[in-house]
Amino acid sequence: MSETPEVRPPVVTPARVIIAVCLVAPFVAMLWVGSYAKTDPAFIGIPFFYWYQMLWVLISTALTMLAYQLWKRDQRAREDANGGAVK
């Protein structure tokens, strides 16, 4: 997906795998409707179907934030290693 010029750090690193997982997880969770299409357990009277999806707003936010932080660190590390403009 993201092309990196000929620099030493490999394209696929553990940090990047985690970033990808963070970004893909919401898709798996939300598109698998069967996993949450039920009313119980309810939370303060709100059926599971609704509060679970709203909870995922928070979860996916946390995951995107994590991805963002990892990405920033990844970029900085690469810049330091390379001394120039990297991806």
Partner 1 sequence: MKDGVNGVALGVFIFFFLAVTVMGFLAARWRKAENEQSLDEWGLGGRSFGTWVTWFLLGGDLYTAYTFVAVPAAIYAAGAAGFFAVPYTILVYPLIFTFLPRLWSVSHRHGYVTTSDFVRGRFGSKGLSLAVAVTGILATMPYIALQLVGIQAVLDVMGVGGGENTNWFVKDLPLLIAFGVLAAYTYSSGLRAPALIAFVKDALIYIVIAVAIIYIPIKLGGFDDVFAKAGDAFAQVNPATGKPRGALVPAEAGQWTYATLALGSALALFMYPHSITATLSSRSREVIRRNTTILPLYSLMLGLLALLGFMAIAAGVKVTNGQLAIPQLFEDMFPDWFAGVAFAAIGIGALVPAAIMSIAAANLFTRNIYKDFIKPDATAAEETRVSKIVSLLVKVGALVFVLTMDKTVAINFQLLGGIWILQTFPALVGGLFTRWFHRWALLAGWAVGMVYGTVAAYGVASPTQKHFGGSAKEIPGIGEIGYIGLTAFVINVVVTVVLTFVLKALKAPEGLDETRPEDYTADAGDPGVQAELPSATAGAGH
The residues of the shown chain that bind partner 1, judged by CB under 8 A, are 1-3, 5, 22-24, 26-27, 30-34, 37-39, 42, 44-47, 49-50, 53-54, 56-58, 60-61, 63-65, 67-68, 71, 85-87
Instruction: Tally Cβ neighbours within 10 Å of residue 78.
Output: 19
The least CB distance from residue 54 to partner 1, in Å, is 4
The least CB distance from residue 77 to partner 1, in Å, is 15
Question: Is 76:68 a contact under the CB 8 Å cutoff?
Answer: no
Smaller CB separation from partner 1, 14 or 70: 70
For 39-82, give the secondary structure using H, E and C: CCCCECCECHHHHHHHHHHHHHHHHHHHHHHHHHHHHHHHHHHH
Smaller CB separation from partner 1, 10 or 34: 34
